[in-house]
Structure 1
């Protein structure tokens, strides 16, 4: 297994029309979640990925597992909960540059994830464990589960990748900051946005932030700066990697997950850090061009066609 990730995926309902959602009569049903978005992005690039989660014993849960399995992700560690529903959320494209998201996930099946849902041998089989800052916010048992997963990974020399994915509405900011800093101190790789770095350390300067993350315990930190690109930092190196211009952003949700998939794919393919970040930037750009979190993510042929057209030399 190349990568194992753990967290909640929800049913995504998107109106067929723009404007206030109260006027919508028809909706498209999709599936989305930071961890499964990443898993699907990696699977499309030919990597072996496993997703750990819980879904409700309902039609949405059945459809979700079938969809993610169909994308080439191993779902053998997904459990079905007959006492809680599959989570749900809505995207509202209210008007140009005004996208709103509404979550209905309280007491969902995935919020009941706990350490007993983890298979240590399964985690030990991976090269990377990917986690986000969303999961520990869902419940006390999810919080405990995340740190159990980190402990298992470190025990077996599996590298831990932490994407903060800050969701302020999910929990108290003080608790979120404390948790993020605790996870970052144990993670090998951290992938914050500039705003998340500022949230964690109270620092806006990207170079100072990179140094703070490294001093805090991370071996590699990549700080994303939106469409401009991203900075990577190690103990003895740091560089800026420009992003790829997108003529029209259709749906910005999921860009960070696409970036994480591209970056980890680059590491798995043993690219340099610069080239791995560049691949992450490319997948982030792909993600925002299509309505939906994963629908725009490329397969390997599409990715290399894109780089060839840009006249960039990226090793296969």
Structure 2
């Protein structure tokens, strides 16, 4: 298991409060505290696979901020550029689960600590030893000024020849689809790898037909367009060709974090020289394993767990 490759991401983190009982949130009196956030999940997923994983963020200088910091550091993520700030409470994410299994998520991220991060704080030295920068639309949605930070990140990364990957990760509770589309199309020309859910890309460009997806990749010179399609597997458009890979059969109990895990798996396999089909297989395996465990990042697997899972499935198929 190599630890030579480095990945950097930046974004918010939250304390997730999961209800101890089902029903309307106003009647729930006990919660289980967890840690979540798209970019944070991704960083942890990369670290568990053995990559050198670096996360840039800001946390509230409060008890929840300390809980997140301790947890993520314990996962082996580089926290050098994570600062704790006064006057900005650590964000919360409270879940409601009804008796039929349906649910809602309530975000309390006004005055998020990450709002204190400014473009001038992004320095070239942060990118030493980094091979891939992974960005998501969640960070962009928090505040419009974050586009300036992302563009600063992209500028430095491109100057150093670092691969740039992007996951739209649409959050329509945080901004409108029109705002999201404008931001994404601004970034697409600089993206080397686009990792997106099928429903997401359909919302962005109005279609999920291969012809339209091919046109998007060609128009913006996106070297690898990866479509995450849940139980229907995944697809990759690269070098003028489409490749499809079926999903692994699992009984999902919680799909939260599966997309973040898929991203980590795909980029791990890319950096380690896997071929196109093997990249999709590996990423599908990571995503599938995440769905078998309840929680935002509890199901993100270790490298040996992924290999065991893939080999076991291969034996069954033969």
Fold in common (TM above 0.5): yes
Deviation at 1:26, TM superposition (A): 1.2
Give the match for residue 180 of structure 1. Answer: 184
SS in 2 for 1:307: helix
Give the match for residue 45 of structure 1. Answer: 49
**1:232-251 alignment, distance < 5 Å:** 232-247=236-251, 249-251=252-254
Give the match for residue 224 of structure 1. Answer: 228
Structure 2 residue 277 is matched with structure 1 residue 284 = no
Q: Please, which of 6, 9, 25 is the counterpart of residue 5 of structure 1?
A: 9
Q: Decide whether the 8 Å contact of 2:138 with 2:170 is kept in 1.
A: yes
Q: Please, which of 70, 77, 85 is the counterpart of residue 66 of structure 1?
A: 70
1:8-43 alpha-carbon deviations (Å, 9 max, x no partner): 011110011222222222111111111110111111
Give the match for residue 298 of structure 1. Answer: 301
Give the match for residue 35 of structure 1. Answer: 39
Q: Decide whether the 8 Å contact of 2:60 with 2:85 is kept in 1.
A: yes
Give the match for residue 271 of structure 1. Answer: 274
Give the match for residue 257 of structure 1. Answer: 260
Q: Decide whether the 8 Å contact of 1:287 with 1:294 is kept in 2.
A: yes
TM-score with structure 2 length normalisation? 0.94
SS in 2 for 1:65: helix
> How far apart, CA to CA, are the structure 2 residues paired with 1:278 and 1:206?
20
> How far apart, CA to CA, are the structure 1 residues paired with 2:273 and 2:96?
39
1:70-94 alpha-carbon deviations (Å, 9 max, x no partner): 0010011001111211111112222
Q: Decide whether the 8 Å contact of 2:266 with 2:282 is kept in 1.
A: yes
> How far apart, CA to CA, are the structure 2 residues paired with 1:183 and 1:105?
25
> How far apart, CA to CA, are the structure 2 residues paired with 1:15 and 1:160?
37
Structure 1 moving runs of 4+ over 6 Å:
none
Unaligned runs of 5+ in 1: none
Which segment drifts farther, 256-265 or 166-175? 166-175
Give the match for residue 310 of structure 1. Answer: 313
Q: Decide whether the 8 Å contact of 1:41 with 1:258 is kept in 2.
A: yes
Q: Decide whether the 8 Å contact of 1:11 with 1:88 is kept in 2.
A: yes
1:127-168 alpha-carbon deviations (Å, 9 max, x no partner): 000000111111133221111111111111111000000011
Counterparts in 2 of 1:165 and 1:221: CA distance versus 1, 3 Å: same
Deviation at 1:124, TM superposition (A): 4.3
> How far apart, CA to CA, are the structure 2 residues paired with 1:149 and 1:26?
40
Q: Decide whether the 8 Å contact of 2:177 with 2:204 is kept in 1.
A: no
